[in-house]
Structure 1
Amino acid sequence: MGTVGTGGDGTAGERRRLINVAYRLLGSVTEAEDAVQDAYARWYGLPRSRQEEILSPGAWLTTVTGRICLDLLGSARARRERYVGAWLPEPLPDRGEWVHAGGTGAAGPADPADQIVRDESVTMAFLVVLESMTPAERVAFVLHDVFRYPFAEIAGVLDRSPAACKQLAASARRRVSAARTPVTAPGQADVVRHVKEAWQTKDIAALIGVLNPAAVMTADGGGMAGAVLRPVEGGARIAQYMVAIADRAPGLELLERSVNGTPGLVAVREGAVMTVASFDVVDGRVTRIWVVRNPEKLRPWPAQG
């Protein structure tokens, strides 16, 4: 029987896959790492005879990780009802940023953010839509549509029939279609650069020009950093809010950085990351802005020199 582990025997890929699954299910690097650690602890807690009975340790770990995430999603709903303001997923730096954070020039196996594959299923837009799903829908959809697990395996995670899991995934798919989850738009980096330049010069007219009139900005401060508690709606209102922030934030610098694999902005003061912003761009204009200021969600982000 094959072994499971985290060393250099080829099994690190198993851990990487589980972290990728768990991050998409939970929207949190820290919680994803904890869930996978818990699954491995349960594996190593099994008697040797029981381990030898399991034909596919990888499938067993996937099932256990999925169940742990399902339980966490259920309890998260109650926690988020008490959360101060809007809750957004943790933003991810790109691989180069995370490697720099380690300070060694090479990512180690304990760097969970570095192990997460950046694709359309980890953009902030996509993760926000996943948040609108029920826990069971999210598990069925992520495992099947993103990672291509068969419904027969997903049934073991959700403790439902394969047919019921198929219906859950279909329901989740309708939510995704209704939300029009975008792919990275051509020219998005240029649009984000225009936002940065207009903010730096406090040019309201230029900001309004790059924002869709129906744009929406959502901020997550978690009660630990100043942020609007409700979404700001309308390009003009967002532009005015952004300029007001610039007036109240001397010494703040905006940097162009990859956020969850797409062009975004990072606000720093004296090298410390204060804010990470993601954007949805359609037809050359910003339609959504997601702003994360909760310091607990910015831990993967290194100091900016």
Structure 2
Amino acid sequence: MHPAVLVVGGLVALVLSVGAAATLGAADVSLVNVRDVLLNHLGLAQVPVRVSEDAIVWQDRVPRALVAAACGAGLGLCGLVLQSLLRNPLADPFVLGVSSGASTGAVAVAVLGIGGIGLSGGAFVGACLAFALTLALARATRGGTAGILLAGLAGTHLFSALTSLVVFAVADSDETRGVMFWLLGSLEGVRWDDVVLCWAVVAVGAAVCLGYAGRLDAFAFGEEIASSLGIPVARTRAVLLLLTALVTATLVSVTGAVGFVGLVLPHVARLLVGHAHTRTVPATIVVGAVAMVWVDAGSRVAFAPTPLPVGVGTALVGVPVFALLLVRRGRAS
């Protein structure tokens, strides 16, 4: 499939998916009502709409769908970069320990009562601390790509243990329930400022990755070949690792831990457009955005009125898809 066709088709599918997702929920809202609300707020029409429907669509469902789309696009993009940079098809955004660090930061705010920065702020601080630890360990071991993976694994287990320790030792039953729901991924209560923040970091990430597309292509053949082509390996790796950490930390601080997105979507994009990063970067973004909107919509209505944590939904969908990709790859080899 030509990448331009995929991107244009994906953007159209994203607009339609957001509109369709806005109709789903405990309160019935028709697609016509969604259209009218969006046209009113975009200043393109003045159609009478009930106040309740306007609030449901504009203040709740549309921001939620757009944040879900940003989460799918951003985490998928980070997974693509890490899989190419580390030459590991199993690498995903959480391999750097960012998710575990974010969980610890969020728990510290919610359970220990560390005030002033909020749950999202605590998650972001924890994610950055975990990434700093990963880089420090990798630098100390001088293990290159393998050292980064092992340092990320160590950081993941350390911060997961710290999270469990705080919850076990301090949290009461209500706090534990709230923390566990967040750790499984939640898009409840997102607002328009979250939409702006998430899409801003995704846009920056996409621009940088497209600028580094040629270097990522070279990294796929190994660091020695990349260096022989005149690419500053250490600096490129540091820039891209920092970028993926910041994008992941920002998204996780808003949505909680959402797994399998960064692992599966890059493989789907490569299957559709090949391995050149000028193609896979935009393909991963649009495929991830559309897929995540529908996973979130399904998670929201599966056990309505109680929403299923979106991280559970991504795992239920991601595992079978990843298994199919593995089978297909095995048969092709």
Q: TM-score, normalised by structure 1?
A: 0.26
Could you say which structure has the greater relative contact order, defined with CA pairs below 8 angstroms and 6 or more residues apart?
2
More helix by share: 2
Q: Could you tell me the TM-score, scaled by structure 2's length?
A: 0.24
More strand by share: 1
